[in-house]
Amino acid sequence: MKKLYIVPTPIGNLEDITLRALRILKEVDLILAEDTRQTIKLLKHFEIQKKVISYHKFNEHGTLQNIINQLESGLLIALVSDAGTPCISDPGFLLVRECLQNEISVECLPGATALIPALVNSGFPSDKFIFEGFLPQKKGRKKRMLELALEKRTIILYESPYRLVKALNELSEYFGETREACVSRELTKIYEENKIGTLKELAVYFNQKTVKGEIVIVVKAIQDKIISV
């Protein structure tokens, strides 16, 4: 049986891994990990002993064919990221596409991802939303922000703690200082924080403190103006 498993891992709290995920990690022959050190810690916690090799954005092109060859030979392989679901702002897309082109079965398990808890915690409309991931760092950044400023769905962004204040100030400039947003950090951990306010208020707030952990910014959709007749 030729199969690649996409296995979500906890984004913080280790209790968030599923029983099915643990079973698959025990059954596969090989685990591809974004950071082997992080994955080995997870495996040790659950007393799982498996061969783990690196698969990340810097080597995914170079290792792709070798992984396909191993899958073709009959090895069962699982792909995991440091935290959350692979392929969602993490490596995996190229491998999944190559597997499908080579008629290798791909099975993605449901599981942890940071964007959904952040969206729900914000209290903003969740029936329609757009997940943007990480904004471009340089080329096209301003253009994309100006486009998103007119978005009528709730917007979800990922950001580094080191660039959070800069991003909030930029969003405040292009979206308007009074646009409401929610910044979620350390989701599922002891110091989880979901801070709601205007973009300007959030920029001031986080500029006054040291921020750690992965960041999710949820921006409330632009509201249609009510025209009286």
Same domain for 102 and 7 = yes
Q: Count up the domains in the chain and report the number.
A: 2
- Tell me: pLDDT of 13 over 70: yes
pTM, two decimal places:
0.91
Residue 136 backbone dihedrals phi, psi, to 5 degrees: -55, 140
Taking residues 78-102, report their average pLDDT. 96
pLDDT on residue 213: 86
What are the start-end ranges of the E strands in the chain?
A: 3-6, 30-33, 52-54, 76-80, 105-108, 129-134, 154-159, 180-185, 193-198, 215-219
Task: Answer yes or no: are the C-beta atoms of 213 and 185 closer than 8 Å.
Answer: yes
Residue 229 domain-assigned (yes or no): no
Same domain for 87 and 19 = yes
Q: Which two tokens stand for residue 25?
A: 């990690």
Same domain for 141 and 69 = no
Of 57, 92, 108, which one is at a domain's C-terminal end?
A: 108
pLDDT on residue 226: 41
Taking residues 9-25, report their average pLDDT. 97
- Tell me: pLDDT of 38 over 50: yes
Same domain for 123 and 85 = no
Taking residues 184-208, report their average pLDDT. 96
Of 69, 84, 108, which one is at a domain's C-terminal end?
A: 108
Encode pLDDT of 141-181 as tens digits.
999 999 999 999 999 999 999 999 999 999 999 999 999 99
SS3 call for 45: helix
Give residue 20's domain range.
Answer: 3-108
Residue 72 domain-assigned (yes or no): yes
Residue 172 domain-assigned (yes or no): yes
Residue 226 domain-assigned (yes or no): no
CATH number for the domain spanning 140: value is 3.30.950.10
What gap in Å lies between CA 153 and CA 90, rounded to an integer? Answer: 24
Same domain for 151 and 86 = no
Same domain for 143 and 92 = no
Same domain for 104 and 164 = no
Of 108, 124, 150, which one is at a domain's C-terminal end?
A: 108
pLDDT on residue 229: 38
Q: What's the whole-number average pLDDT of the chain?
A: 94
Q: Which residues contact 169 (CB under 8 A, 6 or more apart)?
A: 203
Residue 228 domain-assigned (yes or no): no
Taking residues 112-122, report their average pLDDT. 96
